[in-house]
C-alpha cells in the first residue's frame, strides 16, 4: 500500500458509510411522513372529535407542532397527499411496525400493475424526490419518473429537470421507447451521496443546525419576509392579505407566496417568488393563480387581479407582470403606474442576495 492507495481507501470508506447513514435516516424520514399522512386521514374519517376541527385541523396541528421544524401546515398537506398517492408503502411500514398491519383499513386501493414496489421507493428515493413526484397527478406518468429516477440514480435536481422538460411525453412520442429511454439515461450523470445529504428535510428531521448550509428554502423564506415589508412600505396602496395562501384547483392544493389587495386599483395582487432562473412554467403557474382569483375571489366591484413573478439565480433577476384574463377595456398602463417599477423590484432582489453571498 502506498500513500495514494491509503487516501483512496479512506475516501471510499467515508463515502460508503456516509451513504449508508443517509439512507438509514431517509428511510425513517419517509416512513414518518407517510405515517403522519395516514394518521391525519384516519382522524378525518374516524376521529371522535373530527367535527370540532373541520377545516381548521391543519392549522391546529401546525400550532401544536411549531416546535418541530419541518412539520408545518403546508408539510402536513403534503404528508396526507403522500399517503394517498403511495398506498403500497403500507406493506413496508407493516414490516417495520408489525402492529400497524392490524390497522389502516382506510388505506386507498391501488393498481399493483402501475405501482413501483414500496421497498424500491423507500430504499432508493429520498423524501425530497417524493415531494417532486407528488406534483404529478397521473399515476402512470408518476411511475415512469419513479422507475427512471431509481434506475438512473437521478438527483433531485435531475428529476426536476426531466419533469420540466417533459421526458415522459418525449419518450412516449418516440418510435422506439426502449432506445429513447436508454439514450435519456446515458446523458444523465448519476447523483453522488453528497448531493443527497444537502436535503433540507434531513436537517429538519434530525434537528440539526448549521451556519454553513444555506438551503433554497431558507433563502426563499428570508426574501419573502423582506419582500412583504418592502411592498407594504412602498406607500402605493398595498394592503397585505395572505402569506402562503392555500387554494384548491381540481382537488389539488396550491400555495401562493404573497397576496395583497390594492386599495387604489381595487384589485388583488398575487406575488410569486422563485429562487431560480426564469422558466416559462413559472409564468404559466402565476397566470393560473391570477385566473383563479379573477374567477373565484374577485368581487363584482373589483378590477381584475394582476400577478408579479420574481425570479432570481446567482445575482440574475427578472420581474414579470401577469395579466391573465384582464378586461380589454382596462389598460395595463393603468396598473403599471401604481405597481412597483421593475427596476425597484430588481434592486430589491440584488440587495437581498448580497446578504447571502
What residues contact residue 226 under an 8 Å CB cut-off, 6+ apart? 348, 352
Given a cut of 60, is residue 315 above it in pLDDT? no
Q: Are strands 306-313 and 252-262 parallel, antiparallel or unpaired?
A: unpaired
Q: Please give the pLDDT value at position 15.
A: 76
The Cα 268–Cα 299 span in angstroms is 10
- Backbone CA torsion sign across 282, 284, 288, 293: positive
Helix H or strand E segment including 249: strand 238-249
pLDDT above 50 (res 134):
yes
CATH class assigned to 216-356:
alpha beta
Is the pTM higher than 0.85? The answer reads: no
Domains of the chain by residue range: 3-206, 216-356
Least reliable range by pLDDT among 14-23, 120-129, 210-219, 260-269:
210-219
Amino acid at each position: 500500500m502506498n500513500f495514494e492507495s491509503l487516501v483512496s481507501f479512506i475516501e471510499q470508506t467515508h463515502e460508503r458509510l456516509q451513504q449508508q447513514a443517509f439512507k438509514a435516516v431517509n428511510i425513517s424520514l419517509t416512513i414518518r411522513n407517510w405515517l403522519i399522512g395516514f394518521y391525519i386521514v384516519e382522524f378525518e374519517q374516524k376521529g371522535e372529535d373530527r367535527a370540532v376541527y373541520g377545516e381548521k385541523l391543519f392549522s391546529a396541528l401546525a400550532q401544536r407542532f411549531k416546535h418541530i421544524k419541518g412539520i408545518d401546515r403546508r408539510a402536513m398537506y403534503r404528508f396526507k397527499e403522500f399517503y394517498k398517492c403511495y398506498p403500497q408503502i403500507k406493506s413496508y411500514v407493516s414490516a417495520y411496525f408489525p402492529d400497524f398491519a392490524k390497522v389502516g383499513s382506510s388505506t386507498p386501493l391501488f393498481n399493483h400493475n402501475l405501482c413501483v414496489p414500496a421497498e424500491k421507493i423507500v430504499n432508493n428515493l429520498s423524501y425530497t424526490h417524493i415531494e417532486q413526484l407528488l406534483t404529478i397527478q397521473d399515476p402512470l406518468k408518476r411511475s415512469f419518473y419513479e422507475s427512471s429516477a431509481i434506475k438512473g440514480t437521478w438527483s433531485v435536481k435531475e428529476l426536476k429537470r426531466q419533469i420540466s422538460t417533459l421526458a415522459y411525453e418525449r419518450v412516449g412520442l418516440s418510435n422506439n421507447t426502449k432506445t429513447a429511454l436508454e439514450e435519456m439515461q446515458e446523458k444523465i450523470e448519476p447523483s453522488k451521496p453528497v448531493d443527497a445529504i444537502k436535503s433540507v428535510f434531513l436537517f429538519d428531521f434530525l434537528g440539526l443546525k448549521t451556519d454553513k448550509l444555506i438551503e433554497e428554502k431558507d433563502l426563499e423564506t428570508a426574501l419573502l419576509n423582506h419582500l412583504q415589508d418592502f411592498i407594504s412600505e412602498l406607500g402605493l396602496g398595498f394592503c397585505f392579505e395572505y402569506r402562503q395562501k392555500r387554494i384548491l384547483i381540481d382537488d389539488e392544493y396550491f400555495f401562493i407566496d404573497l397576496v395583497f389587495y390594492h386599495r387604489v386599483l381595487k384589485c388583488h395582487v398575487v406575488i410569486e417568488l422563485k429562487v431560480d432562473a426564469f422558466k416559462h412554467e413559472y409564468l404559466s403557474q402565476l397566470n393560473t393563480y391570477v385566473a383563479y382569483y379573477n374567477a373565484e375571489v374577485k368581487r363584482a366591484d373589483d378590477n381584475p387581479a394582476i400577478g408579479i413573478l420574481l425570479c432570481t439565480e446567482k445575482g440574475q433577476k427578472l420581474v414579470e407582470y401577469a395579466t391573465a384574463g384582464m378586461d380589454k377595456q382596462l389598460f395595463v398602463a393603468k396598473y403599471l403606474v401604481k405597481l412597483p417599477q421593475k427596476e425597484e423590484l430588481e434592486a430589491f432582489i440584488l440587495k437581498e442576495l448580497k446578504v447571502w453571498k
